[in-house]
Amino acid sequence: MQSAAAQSSFARHAMCSHRGNNTVDTNDLSQKLQDQLQSSGALDPGSLSSTSIFVWMVVGCIGTGYFIYGKKQHRYVPLFAGIGLSFYPLFVSNFLAQVVIGVVLIAAPFLIRE
């Protein structure tokens, strides 16, 4: 008699080895996604300088703090500023633009009162 783990492994193998016409190859799908991101400039290797990564880390930490504060206090300006601070460096590669957007988003909860 086989153990439950061995039976589960056998069941997974049986399901994965049976590929019908409706299955999608995940390697092909991930390659297509990566090609689309590179063509849009989102994964531009030149945009990943050490300065950009440092700015991303700093504003990401501040953004996480804003997000947690906004969530716990039910305040929407810090919540959305935190989300913005966490994700905008992914889409902005210019250093000066990163700094300006970061300063605006960091100052937003102090300037916009609910």
Q: What is the 3-state secondary structure (H, E, C) of the chain?
A: CCCHHHHHHHHHHHHHHCCCCCCCCHHHHHHHHHHHHHHHCCCCHHHCCHHHHHHHHHHHHHHHHHHHHHHHHCCHHHHHHHHHHHHHHHCCCCHHHHHHHHHHHHHHHHHCCC
Span 104-111, average pLDDT: 92
> 34 Cβ partners below 8 Å, 6+ apart?
43
How far apart CA 24 and CA 96 sit, in angstroms, is 42
Q: What is the pLDDT of residues 18-67, one digit of tens each?
A: 555 556 567 777 777 677 666 665 555 555 677 778 878 888 899 999 99
Q: What is the pLDDT of residue 40?
A: 60
Residue with more model confidence, 16 or 78: 78
Domain boundaries in the chain? 1-43, 45-114
Q: What is the pLDDT of residue 22?
A: 55
How far apart CA 95 and CA 59 sit, in angstroms, is 13
Q: What is the pLDDT of residues 80-106, one digit of tens each?
A: 999 999 988 888 878 888 889 999 999
How far apart CA 105 and CA 114 sit, in angstroms, is 15
Q: What is the pLDDT of residue 103?
A: 92
- pTM of the complete model: 0.56
Q: What is the pLDDT of residue 10?
A: 47
CB distance 96 to 104 below 8 Å: no
